[in-house]
Structure 1
Amino acid sequence: MGTIFTLFMVLIMIASILLIIMVMAQNPKGGGLSGTFGGTSSAQFGVQRTNDFMEKATWTLGVIIVVMILLSVILTAKPTKSFQNAPARKEAPAPQTAPGANSVTMPIPTPAPADK
């Protein structure tokens, strides 16, 4: 059980680091890594493909991280007892009422121990 959890944690960390690298390589104005390879215009040959690859890789890594987190929770969760198999709860005993008391519940005083 512990090795599965450790494996998922390592894979999630690797995917997270790759996602950080992908996001940092993109430029919000459209340049980014593609701007390094021949200008900032996305109409040049190969540059549009780079932008598409970076965007698809970013989305794919995000989805992979979410799926791995959900799988790690599902696969490493401890099974719980169902309500049908759970032992019946004992109810607290009803409080004792004093004789002659109508609907008011009054505790019966306990006698003090006698001194010798």
Structure 2
Amino acid sequence: MSTIFTLFMVLIMIASILLIIIIMAQNPKGGGLSGTFGGTSSAQFGVQRTNDFMEKATWTLGIVIVALILLSVILTAKPVHTFQQTAPAKKEAPAPQTAPATNSTTTAPAKEAPAAPAK
């Protein structure tokens, strides 16, 4: 594996774990961590601020995870050629030399012996 890919995987895992923790800390009815801190209206880190922080953290981590995944695909992908490269021509082995086929029914014309000189 390349080091860039490993780095992206580690960052994606960290962001995913943080996102899980943030989501688990939220209460679907508006309580969650904000219920712990929201005793009085004069609290420095009150209910509304906690809800805003949790929502912003959730969206931010979600966007970070998607961005890291897209970057890891773009930066670690192997290049794909859109055109067909011409491969060097393969040298074909020459066909084996065979003796010419002879047909047993056809024979070559026989040479006639030279005629004897006339006396």
- Same topology, TM > 0.5: yes
Q: Distance in 2 between matches of 1:13 and 1:38?
A: 32
Deviation at 1:87, TM superposition (A): 2.4
Number of residue-to-residue matches in the alignment? 84
Structure 2 equivalent of residue 86 of structure 1: 85
Query: After TM superposition, what 4+ stretches of structure 1 lie above 6 angstroms from structure 2?
Result: none
Give the unaligned 5+ runs of structure 1: 89-116
Q: Which has the higher contact order (CA 8 A, sep 6+)?
A: 2
Structure 2 equivalent of residue 17 of structure 1: 17
Structure with larger Rg: 2
Root mean square deviation, CA, Å: 1.9
Q: What per-residue deviation string (whole Å, max 9, x for no partner) do you get for residues 2-40 of structure 1? A: 00000000000000000000000000000000101135x
Q: Distance in 1 between matches of 2:11 and 2:38?
A: 34
Give the aligned residue type for 1:32: G
2:69 alignment partner, SS class = helix
Structure 2 equivalent of residue 68 of structure 1: 68
Structure 1 equivalent of residue 53 of structure 2: 53
Structure 2 equivalent of residue 29 of structure 1: 29
Give the aligned residue type for 1:34: S
Give the unaligned 5+ runs of structure 2: 88-119
Q: Distance in 1 between matches of 2:82 and 2:59?
A: 38
TM-score (norm 1): 0.67
Q: What per-residue deviation string (whole Å, max 9, x for no partner) do you get for residues 81-111 of structure 1? A: 221x5228xxxxxxxxxxxxxxxxxxxxxxx
Q: Distance in 1 between matches of 2:66 and 2:30?
A: 27
Q: What per-residue deviation string (whole Å, max 9, x for no partner) do you get for residues 20-71 of structure 1? A: 00000000000000101135xxx93421001000000000000000000000
Give the aligned residue type for 2:68: M
- The share of aligned pairs that are identical, in percent, is 81
Report 1:97-112 matches (<5 A): none
Q: Distance in 1 between matches of 2:79 and 2:16?
A: 29
TM-score (norm 2): 0.65
